Structure formats: C-alpha cells, structure tokens
Amino acid sequence: KQWYQRRVRGLPTTTVCCNNNCLLDIMMRSALLLLALLSLTSSLCIWHKWYCNKDNGCGAIHGCSFGCEEGRCASSCMGACAAIEYGKYPEGCCTECKEWCYLEGADGGDIACSTNADCVPYKNNECNGRCAAF
C-alpha cells in the first residue's frame, strides 16, 4: 500500500492513501463499519426517544422500549402485532412492530412522569389497557 504524509496549513500532519487498492480497502472498511452500525441500531428497541428494557430477559434485540409519553409512563408492547409476528420473538418481548401502551401503576391507574428516567422502576409493569398502533 502506498501512503504519503500530507500537511494542511494549520492542521496536524495526516496520512493519506494514494492508490486505487488503498482507496478500495478504505471504502470496504467503511462499508463494513456502516453495516455493523446499521445492524446494531436496527436490532435495538424501536422507540428511539425512550429507553430500552434489556434486563427483562429479552436483550437488546427483542427488548421493549419504555419511557415518558405525555406525562405518563409507557412501553412498547405486542397487541395485534402478536398474531402477525407470532414465533418471531420470545414471549413477553417486543419486535419492530410499533405498538405501545401506558403502564399500569400499583393503584390500577397510569403512572405519572416528567422524564424517561421516572419510568425506570415501572418498566416491567403490565399495560394499563390495550396496545395501540402509533
């Protein structure tokens, strides 16, 4: 591989590739890195503005998202999607199907919150009603 040092005014010296084989190598490494990142992010919980419940036995791939939505704790869930996605995920876990519900508190009502962090103690609670498509 042929490399040369390039000095740009005001910046530190950088090493730059200067032939086609080297450029192809860099492109392949970049593509592999991008694919690895895409596979990681696509397999994580689907509601990216919420937290991912990885410790309920589902892991990051099938973990349900949970967080604060309109002042109440909520979670992704499997309602109608359970029939569509049957057998594709462990029981009690979630898929990329976008359904959600408010979580049920000890008194049978919704759980108030102002941030996603407020919902951490309730992330494994049952839905307070049906799953709804978002």
- Is the C-alpha dihedral spanning 7, 11, 13, 15 positive or negative? negative
**pLDDT tens, per residue, the chain with 134 residues:** 444 545 555 555 555 555 566 666 666 666 555 444 443 444 457 777 899 888 777 777 778 899 999 999 999 888 888 777 777 777 778 888 888 899 999 999 999 999 999 999 999 999 998 888 76
| Residues forming a β-bridge with 95 | none
pLDDT reported for residue 119? 96
Q: Compute and round to an integer the Cα radius of gyration of the chain.
A: 22
pLDDT reported for residue 109? 94
Q: Which residues of 18-40 are buried (b: 16+ CB within 10 A; e: fewer)?
A: eeeeeeeeeeeeeeeeeeeeeee
pLDDT reported for residue 13? 55
